[in-house]
Structure 1
Amino acid sequence: MNTIVTTTNIMPADWRDFFTLTKPRVMTLVIFTGICGLLAAPGTIHPVIGFTAILAIALGAGGSAVLNQWWEADLDKGMKRTASRPLPDGRLRREDARDFGIFLSAVSVGLMGVAVGWLAAISLFAAIIYYAVIYTMWLKPRTPQNIVIGGGAGAFPPFIGWIAVTGEITAMPILLFAIIFMWTPPHFWALALFVKSDYAKVGIPMLPVVAGERATRQQIMIYTVLLAPIAIAPWLIGGTSWVYGSVAVVLSALFLMLAVPVLSEERQGADPLQPEKRLFKFSIVYLFALFAALVADRVLFANGLIGGGVFA
């Protein structure tokens, strides 16, 4: 287990420090994709039950984020990007963070099971274990493929949202899972390219550190190419109409166009925004826009304004 962070003084914590541990910026994307999975699913769900499902997803995401920072507190202290977090900065005791993370995780699974359904609860439990244990404790410190395999942790929210409504696992929620799973490597490796010194300093074997920038750029391109047909697949199998399909095609084409300069390490004159930074920023827009299109497609279909999707 990681060595304990020692600080000469533990400053009094307040609720904002505990809230910060839940990684609210990351949770925004988790909640959004979870809501999209819930709203895009066929059938109906009572608004209170739907809200409870999203609340449980948010609590589970927050709990796993807290456990991630509890385990990596010593690593975070050595990286400029994370040194000001509550644990490495000495604003919280590590034991308090651990207990808080376990509490949030347990409440989230119990709430999902009792109020929504146990299939959704089991999926949420799997997501928490995937991120807090499989990714954080096992994969991240051991293999440069940590992001590839660990991408499954962030891919659960729309999957869970969908089965919270339907109570079953079909092709569509699996595809929603696969979209985020394949999106994660180019998204995080683009980030890793311009913060690789931080990872190298604390010994985390991120791909740019272990295999070099060239191999990382090649892998970003490979996963971007693989992502495109998976993003379009919900339309191809008849799960959505042309509305989602056209948005997925355009967004995936733009993703590919932005990945090409990353592959070639092309620089546009004195442009201060490196290709990898541009790709990283767009990748966030890409995921938000893609899932928003999924919901819009479902709303239009449900109101009889478009046809062509069966929402399998």
Structure 2
Amino acid sequence: MTHVGHQAAAPQRREPTAEDPRATWKDVVAAYVGLTKPRVIELLLLTTVPVMFFADRGVPPLGLVLATVVGGAFSAGSASVFNCVYDRDIDEQMRRTRRRALPRHIVSARAALVFGAVLGVLSVVVLLVWVNPLSALLAVSAEAFYVFVYTMLLKRRTTQNIVWGGLAGCFPALIGWTAVTGELAWTPVVLFAVVFFWTPPHTWALALRYREDYANVDVPMLPVVASAHAVSRQVVVYSWVMVATSLLLWPVASTGPFYPVAAVVLGAAFLVEAHRMLGRARGTEELSVISPMRLFHASNLYLSLLFFAVALDPLFS
């Protein structure tokens, strides 16, 4: 019989810091890149570029696409950096975030603030000079909303934090459209709404997986204060509204037949997964049974393919 109590404790691995000689320049560069949350940037750009193709009804000027992508990436990265600085206290305590740059002390809070500010300024310059003032204004508005409204006001105070805070992630659809046309219209507003209704199922699935983390730091995400079944019901409701909203693009933008067919197929597949999660959550709180990450990954695939269909539709019309 093994007596684990008599085993020597494994030595704790000390993480390198910016002042630690073991922190190489690669560690520091990777830390700064990590502060910008590249996966979030990737998802945001995924809703920007297809809208530009749809607005142009073809292939927009590649220089314009590049400038919009760079400016949008700088803006989203800046917002993420400020979010990391503000949330560094709770990030240190959460399994999902404790290996970020600030909890590991590879980057100081002051250095991160300067980095975030530089990215924000570069974003405005790029969008003003090479895109247009309206797109620059929308990018600044999205960043300010994410930092001041979601991060500082809503996240730690209400279960509706990501419902309304998620508005910031909807702006790329508007930015992509205005980058090409120079004005707003109902078409990007519909796509804005699709992302708005997509955000709660996407985020709540992830929050359900890490609900203990959020509970430990007193962040009232819906899965912290409601049962898994109640959360799954809300996921189903938002999913139905999201799919219905996606179909509005057909009459509003007078798309060809390719987009509505794709939207119906993708929407049906997503709704099946949402209802399956609801069924798995009935009468249990076991995450191994509920498998919320299945819906999380399905939501990423859904949004990617839906906006890919937006970009391709003019080519088939």
TM-score (norm 1): 0.89
Pairs within 5 Å for 1:184-223:
184-223=199-238
- Which of 22, 26, 45 pairs up with 1:31? 45
Q: Distance in 1 between matches of 2:184 and 2:200?
A: 25
Partner residue, 1:281? 297
Stretch of structure 1 that moved more, 68-77 or 235-244: 235-244
Q: Distance in 2 between matches of 1:102 and 1:181?
A: 27
Q: Distance in 2 between matches of 1:9 and 1:49?
A: 39
Q: Report Cα offsets for 1:50-97 as digits up to 9, x if no partner.
A: 211111001101111111101101110000111011100111101111
Partner residue, 2:7? none
TM-score (norm 2): 0.87
Answering whether residue 112 of structure 2 is matched by residue 103 of structure 1, we say no
Stretch of structure 1 that moved more, 238-247 or 122-131: 238-247
Query: Aligned with 2:165: secondary structure?
Result: helix
Answering whether residue 133 of structure 2 is matched by residue 133 of structure 1, we say no
Q: Distance in 2 between matches of 1:272 and 1:203?
A: 23
Query: Aligned with 1:41: secondary structure?
Result: helix
Task: Summarize the Cα distance change of 1:284–1:273 in structure 2 as closer, same or farther, 3 Å threshold.
Answer: farther
What amino acid is the match of 1:123? Answer: L
Partner residue, 1:66? 81
Partner residue, 1:257? 272
CA RMSD after TM alignment: 2.1
Tell whether the 8 Å contact from 1:188 to 1:280 is kept in structure 2 after alignment: yes
Partner residue, 2:11? none
Answering whether residue 191 of structure 2 is matched by residue 169 of structure 1, we say no
Answering whether residue 34 of structure 2 is matched by residue 16 of structure 1, we say no
Q: Distance in 2 between matches of 1:8 and 1:31?
A: 32
Tell whether the 8 Å contact from 1:57 to 1:124 is kept in structure 2 after alignment: yes
Query: Aligned with 1:80: secondary structure?
Result: coil
Q: Which sections of structure 2, spanning at least 5 residues, go unmatched?
A: 1-14
Q: Distance in 2 between matches of 1:121 and 1:265?
A: 44
Aligned length: 293
Cα deviation, residue 49, structure 1: 2.4
What amino acid is the match of 1:223? Answer: Y
Q: Report Cα offsets for 1:226-257 as digits up to 9, x if no partner.
A: 11111111113243111010010111111111
Q: Distance in 1 between matches of 2:181 and 2:251?
A: 21
What amino acid is the match of 1:40? Answer: F
Stretch of structure 1 that moved more, 165-174 or 22-31: 22-31
Q: Distance in 2 between matches of 1:126 and 1:285?
A: 27
Answering whether residue 55 of structure 2 is matched by residue 50 of structure 1, we say no
Task: Summarize the Cα distance change of 1:238–1:40 in structure 2 as closer, same or farther, 3 Å threshold.
Answer: closer
Partner residue, 1:296? 312
- Which of 148, 171, 174 pairs up with 1:156? 171
Q: Which sections of structure 1, spanning at least 5 residues, go unmatched?
A: 1-6, 301-305, 307-312
Instruction: Return the index of the structure with the highest Cα Rg.
Output: 2
